[in-house]
Structure 1
Amino acid sequence: MRIAIVGAGIAGLVTAAGIQADGHEVAVFERRDEPNPVGAGLTLFNNAFAALDLLGLGDSIRQISRDGIVSGAIAAMRPTRNGPKVSWLLSVPSSATATMRSVHRVALHRELMAQLAPGTVRTGSAALVAADGTPQVTASGRTEQFDLVVVADGLRSRNREILGLDTGLRYAGYTAWRGVTEQPVSFAVQPGEIWGRGQVFGMVPLPDARVYWYATRNTAEGQRVDNEYELVREEFSGWHETVQECIAVTAPDAVMRHDIYDLAKPLTSFVRGRTVLLGDAAHAMTPNLGQGAGQGIEDAATLTCLLRDAGGRMLRDASGEALDAALAKYSQLRQKRTSSVLRRSRSAGLMAQAEHPAAVGFRNALTRLMPPQVMSAMTQRLQQWPKPEL
Structure 2
Amino acid sequence: MGKAVVIGGGVGGLTAGVALRRRGWEVTVLERASQIEPVGSGLAIAANALKALDVLELGDRIRGLATAEGRLGLRRADGRWMVHTSEAEADSKYGDSMVITLRATLMEVLIDALGPGRLLLNSAVSEVDAGKGLVRTEAGELEADLIVAADGIHSATRRALFPEHPGPVYSGVTAWRGLVPRDGLSVPRSESWGRGTVFGIHLLAGDVVYLYATDVVPAGVTHADEREELLRRFGGWHEPIPALLRAADPADIIRNDIYYNAEPLPAFHRGRVALVGDAAHAMTPNLGQGACQAIEDGVVLAHVAGRDLAEYSAARMERTAKIVRRSMTMCRMSKLRNPLAVRLRDFGLSAAARLSPDLMLRSMDEMLRWRPPVEPEGPAGR
TM-score by length of 1: 0.89
Which runs of 5 or more structure 1 residues have no equivalent in the other structure? 78-84, 308-322
- Mapped contact 1:218–1:353 kept (Cα < 8 A): yes
Partners in 2 of 1:128 and 1:295 — Cα distance? 27
Superposed CA deviations along residues 319-373 of structure 1, whole A, max 9, x for unmatched, are: xxxx352x11111110011001100000011112211112101111110121222
C-alpha distance 70-297 of structure 1, shift in aligned 2 (>3 A): farther
> Displacement, 1:67?
4.4
Amino acid paired to 1:73: G
1:126-275 correspondence to structure 2 within 5 Å: 126-130=124-128, 132-140=130-138, 142-164=140-162, 166-187=165-186, 190-275=188-273
Which runs of 5 or more structure 2 residues have no equivalent in the other structure? 376-382
Partners in 2 of 1:160 and 1:50 — Cα distance? 28
Partners in 1 of 2:70 and 2:257 — Cα distance? 26
- Mapped contact 1:129–1:135 kept (Cα < 8 A): no
Amino acid paired to 1:342: V
Partners in 2 of 1:160 and 1:57 — Cα distance? 29
C-alpha distance 39-345 of structure 1, shift in aligned 2 (>3 A): farther
Partners in 2 of 1:37 and 1:9 — Cα distance? 12
SS in 2 for 1:269: coil
- Mapped contact 1:185–1:211 kept (Cα < 8 A): no
> Displacement, 1:190?
3.2
- The answer on 1:74 being equivalent to 2:74 is yes
TM-score by length of 2: 0.91
Q: 1:349 aligns with which of 302, 311, 331?
A: 331
> Displacement, 1:142?
1.9
Once the two structures are overlaid, the 10-residue window that deviates more, 200-209 or 12-21, is 12-21
> Residue in 2 aligned with 1:122?
120
Superposed CA deviations along residues 45-87 of structure 1, whole A, max 9, x for unmatched, are: 1100110101222122223x2145553321111xxxxxxx322
> Displacement, 1:132?
4.2
Which consecutive aligned stretches of 4+ in structure 1 deviate over 4 angstroms post-superposition?
67-70
> Displacement, 1:92?
2.6
Partners in 1 of 2:62 and 2:138 — Cα distance? 34
- Mapped contact 2:67–2:203 kept (Cα < 8 A): no
> Residue in 1 aligned with 2:343?
361
> Residue in 2 aligned with 1:283?
281
Amino acid paired to 1:227: D
Number of equivalenced pairs: 365
- Mapped contact 1:75–1:86 kept (Cα < 8 A): yes
RMSD, aligned α-carbons? 1.8
> Residue in 2 aligned with 1:311?
none
> Residue in 2 aligned with 1:96?
90
Q: 2:317 aligns with which of 307, 318, 335?
A: 335
> Residue in 1 aligned with 2:39?
38
> Displacement, 1:262?
0.5
Once the two structures are overlaid, the 10-residue window that deviates more, 143-152 or 377-386, is 377-386
Superposed CA deviations along residues 188-230 of structure 1, whole A, max 9, x for unmatched, are: x733011010111000110112110001111111001222122
> Displacement, 1:24?
1.4
Once the two structures are overlaid, the 10-residue window that deviates more, 219-228 or 88-97, is 88-97
Give the fraction of aligned pairs with identical amino acids, expressed as a percent: 36
> Residue in 2 aligned with 1:317?
none
> Displacement, 1:275?
0.4
> Residue in 2 aligned with 1:380?
365
